[in-house]
Structure 1
Amino acid sequence: MTTYRIGLIGLGGMAQAHIRWLAEAGGRFRLVAVSDVNPQALAAIGAKHGIAEGKRYADFAQLIADPDVDAVVSATPNDVHAAIVRACLEAGKPFMAEKPFTRDFAEAVPLLALYERRPVPAMIGFTYRYTPAFRYARELVRSGRIGAVRSFASQYLQGWGAALYNGPFVWRFDKTVTGTGALGDLGSHMIDLARFLFGEFEELSAQMRTIVPARPDPRTGEPVRVEVDDFVSFQARMTGGVMGVFQSSRNAVGSGNQHEMSVYGDIGTIHASTLDADHLVLVREDEEGRISRSLLEVPDRCKATQYEDFLAMLDGAPTDGLPGIIDGYRNQAVMEAVIRASETRSVVEL
C-alpha cells in the first residue's frame, strides 16, 4: 500500500489541523517537506516534525518541484492560492489547496484553462462537505425523504470580528491579501454546500456591508481602514427552481463556528448544523396531520473525512462529491456574481 510523501505549504494556524489529519490517516501519509515565508515558523515546525533542513523551503515553488514530494497540501492566505495552484498544475503535482480557490474570479479563469490542458488530481478544501449532518442531509434530499425541495436557508456565523472585541487588522481584513471578507472566508463554504446538495446557481441578488470600518494596526495601534465585507446576504435560484437564502457574518456575538442549513420540501423539513454534527432534525407530518420532530443520528455510511477523500483521489479512485478544480472555479464564479449583484443592486444571472 502506497505511503504518499507530502509537502505542506503555509505553517499558520490551519497547518496544525492538516498535520494532525495527515497523522490520523493510518500511516498512508508522511510529511517530508514544509514551506513558509516566516523563517521562525519554518524552523520550529521543521524541527518539531523531524523535517530535514534541506526540505524546509522559503520558496513554495522549490517544494512543489522537489522530486521527493508526491503531493502538496496548501494552507496559505488567499493571495498566493492562484500561484500555488498554477505551479502544481505546471509541475503535474497532485494537490489539496485551501478555499477559496483564488482571490477573485479573474485569477480563476486562466487556472481552469491550464487545468483543462494539463489535468492533475486536485482537491479544494471545502471541509463542510465532510460534516456528517450535511452529508446525511444530502442523502435524505436525494432519496426524496422530504419530497421535492422548494427552498432552503443557509447561514454561517462567527463572532470574533464583532466591534465588541476591537480585533486587530489582520490579513483577513486586508483586501490585497484576501480579496473579500466574510464572503470568501465563510460565504464560499455556504455556496459550496448549496451546490453539493442542490446543484448549480442560476441567478442571485445580494447585499454586502462593512460593519466595522477600521481596525487597530497590531503594531502601532493606529486605525486601518477595512475595505472588505464582514457581512453578506444573498438569495438565489438554484437548479430546478430551488430557492435559497444565505447569510454570513463575523460579527455575530456568541457564535463560535455556527454553520447551519434548513431545507424545506413538500412533505418535510431538515435542519442540520455544525453545532451538532452527528445528528440532524427531521420534521414530518403524519397521516393524521400531526407534526413530528425526530432527532436522527447520522449513520456511519455518511461519515467520511477530507483526508480519506484526498487519499482516494491519490489512489486513483476519487469518490462522488470530492470537491475539485471545477468546484473551486464555479464557487469563485458565484462569489463574483454576489459582488456584482451587491455593487449594481441588481439580479445577476450565472
Structure 2
Amino acid sequence: MNGHRIGLIGLGGMVQSHIRWLAAEGRFRVVAASDVNESALAAVGDQLGLPAEKRYADFARLIADPDVDAVVSVTPNHIHAAIMQACLEAGKPFLGEKPFTRVFEEAAPLLAQYERQPVAGMIGFSYRYTPAFRYARELLRDGRLGEVRSFSIQYLQGWGAAPNNTPYIWRFNKDITGTGTLGDLGSHMIDLARFLFGEFAELSAQLRTFIPERPDPATGGMVRIEVDDFVSFQARMAGGAVGVFQSSRNAIGSGNQHEVSVYGDAGTLHATTLDPDRLIWIREEAPGQLARAVLDVPERCKTTQYGDFLAMLDGVPTDGLPDFMDGYRNQEVLDAVIRSDAEKRAVRVGASD
C-alpha cells in the first residue's frame, strides 16, 4: 500500500518520540516541518534531510503545502485550535495533541466548522494504547464484571512537588495552557473514563494550586502561578456508574502513575501504566471465597497510536480511535470541571446552567 507524506508541526521535546513512532510503522514519510524556533527547525530539518523550502516558520504554509498529505502537531495548548482550524479549512487529516483546545471557548467554533466540513482527525489520547486499559475495555464489554457500579481513576506524577523546586516553565503559564494538571493529566483521566464507560452526565469538582510561586530561570525572580497543581472530582456517567477522579503533579514517588479500578457485581479490575501488560481481576469463586488473578494482556490488545493513525488515513478507522469528537467531548468535561470548581456546585456536562 502507498505511504503517507507527513507535515510535522512543533519540534520541541516530544518530537523525537513522534519521529520514532512514525518511522516504526514503515509507511510514513516526513516531508515538511514547522516551528517558530529557528534552531529547532534547522536541527530537525537536517536530521530528516528536508530541503530548505520544506522548513516552515509558519505552520499555515506547511498545512497548505500540496506535498503534505496529513499533519502531525506536537505543540503547546494555545496553538491547538489554530492548527486544527487550518487543517479543517484545508481538508487535511491530522493528529493533534491533547487537550483538544486551551479553553472550551476555542472548541465550540471548531465543532461548527467540523460539522460543515468534516475532516479525519485524531487527538493524542495516547493512554488508549496502554494494553491493560484496552483489555479492561474488552472485559467490560464482554460483561465479565457484571453491572459496573463504580470506579476510580487517578493520574499522579511527582515532578512538580515542593522539594523539587521545579522552575517556572510553559506548563505553568495560564496564557499557554489554560489549566494546569487538569488539562495536562486530567484530560487523560477523562478520556480513559469515556473509553471504558461512555459519556459523563454530571460532576462535582475542586481545583487547587499548592505552590503559588515558582522561580523563573530567565529572570531569577518568582512568578505567580495561576494554574492548578491538583484536581479531584466525582462524576455520574450517563450509563449510571459513578466515578472518583484525582490527579496531581505533586505526588512524590509517582513517576507516571495512571490507573483505574473498576467495581462490578461480578468482580473488580485494576489496570495501571506501571504494569501495562497485565491487570488484576478479583472475583468470587464461591460464596464468601475470593480469587485474585493476574491476567496477561493478549496480543490483540497491543496496538499503537500511529497504527491507528495509519488506519484512519487509509480510510478504515478502528474501533476506539480517539477522533475529533472525542477531543471535543473531552473539552466539554474539562469545562464542566472548571465551572464546578468556580461555582462550588455539581454541574451537568455539556450544559451551561
Which TM-score band (shorter chain)? over 0.9
| 1:11 partnered with 2:26 | no
Query: Shift in Å at residue 240 of structure 1?
Result: 1.9
What is the distance in 2 between the residues matched to 1:105 and 1:219?
31
Deviation digits for residues 256-290 of structure 1 (CA, Å, limit 9, x no counterpart): 11000000000100000000100000001112531
Matches within 5 A, 1:283-298: 283-298=282-297
What is the distance in 2 between the residues matched to 1:126 and 1:161?
22
State the partner residue of 1:306: 305
State the SS of the aligned residue for 1:43: helix
State the partner residue of 1:115: 114
Q: What's the C-alpha RMSD, in Å, of the aligned pairs?
A: 0.7
**Runs of 5+ unmatched residues, structure 1:** none
Matches within 5 A, 1:1-150: 1-26=1-26, 28-150=27-149
TM normalised by structure 2 equals: 0.98
State the partner residue of 1:250: 249
What is the distance in 2 between the residues matched to 1:339 and 1:171?
20
State the SS of the aligned residue for 1:276: coil
Deviation digits for residues 76-113 of structure 1 (CA, Å, limit 9, x no counterpart): 00000000000000000000000000001000000011
State the partner residue of 2:208: 209
Matches within 5 A, 1:174-213: 174-213=173-212
Percent of pairs with identical residues: 71
Query: Shift in Å at residue 210 of structure 1?
Result: 0.3
Q: Give the partner amino acid of 1:12.
A: G
| 1:330 partnered with 2:329 | yes
Aligned length: 349
State the SS of the aligned residue for 1:233: strand
Deviation digits for residues 156-176 of structure 1 (CA, Å, limit 9, x no counterpart): 000001111111111100000
What is the distance in 2 between the residues matched to 1:13 and 1:115?
30
Query: Shift in Å at residue 185 of structure 1?
Result: 0.2
What is the distance in 2 between the residues matched to 1:186 and 1:273?
14
State the SS of the aligned residue for 2:239: helix
State the SS of the aligned residue for 1:144: coil
What is the distance in 2 between the residues matched to 1:58 and 1:240?
46
State the SS of the aligned residue for 1:150: strand
Deviation digits for residues 114-134 of structure 1 (CA, Å, limit 9, x no counterpart): 001011111000001110000
Query: Shift in Å at residue 213 of structure 1?
Result: 0.5
Deviation digits for residues 55-84 of structure 1 (CA, Å, limit 9, x no counterpart): 111100010001110000000000000000
**Runs of 5+ unmatched residues, structure 2:** none
